[in-house]
Every structure is written in C-alpha cells, then in structure tokens.
Amino acid sequence: MAKKASKKNKPIYLLAAATIVILGELFNIFFGFGGMTAPLKAETSVHFIDVGQGDAELILSGGEAVLIDAGPTAAGDTVVAYLKQQGVTKLRAAIATHPHEDHIGGMDKVLKAFPTEVLLLPDKTATTRCYERMLDAAETTGAKVVVPKVDERIFFDSGAQLTFLSPSPEAVYSNTNNYSIVSLLSAGGKNVLFMGDAETEIEEALLRQGTDIRCDVLKVGHHGSSTSSSPDFVERAAPSIAVISCAKDNDYGHPHRETIELLNRLGIETHITADEGTYVYEIPAAS
C-alpha cells in the first residue's frame, strides 16, 4: 500500500505559468525576482531546533509558521513538542530539503500533528522507509506535495518572504545532498540563508549565477562538513552569525575543523546546536 500511495503522491511539476496561478491561488506562493522587502509588520524569529544529528528550522512570522526539515526519525516528537510550545497550530509550508533521514525522519509526525498547506520537496525521490512515511502522511493529511522552482517564494503577511534559490528542477546531481532546497528568508532588512546539506558544487553554481547570497545568518551547509562552506562562498555570503546543526560526538566528525577555522578566521559568531542546544534568531518588527 505504501508503494501505491507514494506513486500517487509523486512530487508534481507545474509549468512556470501554471505555477504562478495555481500555487499563487492555493498556497500564496508566487513567482518573481528580487525587489525590496516591505517594512516588517510583525516580529519574526528563526529557531534552529536541536534535533541531534540532523536539521530542523522553524520560521515564525506574525502567527505564520514554516518548517524547514524535521530532524531524524528519533527527533520527530521533539520537533512536534517544540512547535506546540511555540504556539504553532498549522504550517504554511513544510520543506523537506532533501530525502535524507536526518532531515525528513520526523516529517511524518509533523504532518500528522499540524495541518500543512504544502509539503515542498526537491525532484529527488528515495525508496527509504522514512521517505514513504513522509509521502503517506502528506496523502492522509491532505498536504499538497510540490517541487518549488528557483525564485518562487513564500510571502508572509508580515512582509517577510522566503525565496527558493536552488536546485533548478532540471539539474541532475550525483550527490543527493546537492538536491537540497536552498532558501533565503528576507525580513525587515535581515537575511537568513538556509543551505540544507548543499555542498561546494551548489555554492559554486550560486556564485557563478550571481545569486544574491548575502546574509546576516547562515545555516551552515551539511552540518559544518568540509564538503560545504568553501571560503569564497562564506566570504561572499558574509554572515555575522553562523549556525551549525549537529549532534555531540557524531559519527561524521561534524563540524569539521576546516569549517570552524574558516568561520573563526572571518570573525563570524558561530552557534553549534550540539554545544548550546536550540538557537533562536529574532528580527524585530519595524517600529
């Protein structure tokens, strides 16, 4: 049954023109380029939730919530409890950056706990149990499964917006990490860049394309692995704060020494969930 359900629920593609209308109408996601962000009408916060070895970030803005990743399977209950504690009752969107267990393992529990308008995924499927569980949960709860395109964005009523920067739907990568949905939150003149597990190949592509990656806060790619965070990229992004999400004494040696040395050398204030737990970045509303 799970197989059948996942086939039926296979991520859908919508042509650009259709995307504007359909997503715009249904999910208030629009296609567009750049532009100034409006004055922020409500306090906005980004919560880098301590989920052990994995990722989960919650964006809260004026009563609206978007979740980027849901941690590993073992952290599903933690993520649900954290969202409830923050007063979340529903999600505008849940973003599964890429189909690795440390990012989507807890997603089925999240979808079952909170009505979710749309589950956003890259066009990269998996045959793993956690992936099947996630798609089954989307189907049973009615969350629409959609592959976002580069430059599409989620607009919050507060004036904040989350723009998708990567991957291009037609791109093919040998490394699943590089399918990570990379997104940039712009709110009240502050930018937070979420890298998922994207590695240097994606960083180079973003630099080559001239994508504006300048940010105040960088969710460091791939748990601080040295396969992400090339000096060029971090220098260009120029964050004042970096956040690394990983577990203490994890099997991968995350974060890697090279990454920490680079962040230190550039004078970037670095927060590591393994050391200090959940980190919250707050952006005040315009006065």
Residues near Zn ion (CB under 5 A) are 102, 197
| Residue 12 to residues 9, 147, 229, Cα–Cα distance (Å) | 8, 6, 31
Is the Cβ of residue 42 or residue 49 nearer to Zn ion in the bound state? 49
Nearer to Zn ion, 148 or 224 (CB): 224
Compute how many other C-beta atoms are within 10 angstroms of the C-beta atom of residue 195: 29
Closest to 161 measured CA to CA, from 139, 134, 183: 183
Residue 242 tokens, joined: 């970096």
Nearer to Zn ion, 45 or 250 (CB): 250
Taking the complex as a whole, the smallest distance from the CB of residue 4 to Zn ion amounts, in Å, to 29
Nearer to Zn ion, 30 or 252 (CB): 252
192 versus 195: smaller Cβ distance to Zn ion: 195
Q: How far is the CB of 55 from Zn ion (least distance, A)?
A: 6
| Closest to 263 (Cα-Cα) out of 237, 236, 234, 287 | 234
**Cα 59 from Cα 162, distance rounded (Å):** 10
- Minimum CB distance to Zn ion, residue 197 (Å): 4
- Comparing CB distances to Zn ion, the nearer of 247 and 263 is 247
- Shortest separation between residue 242's beta carbon and Zn ion, angstroms: 16
- What residues pair up with 270 in beta bridges, in sequence order? 242
Say if strands 241-244 and 144-146 run parallel, antiparallel, or are unpaired: unpaired
Smallest distance from Zn ion to CB 109, Å: 18
Q: Which is nearer to Zn ion, 102 or 108 (CB)?
A: 102
Nearest distance in Å: CB 187, Zn ion: 25
Determine the Cα–Cα distance for residues 126 and 69; give it in Å rounded to an integer.
16
Q: How far is the CB of 53 from Zn ion (least distance, A)?
A: 8
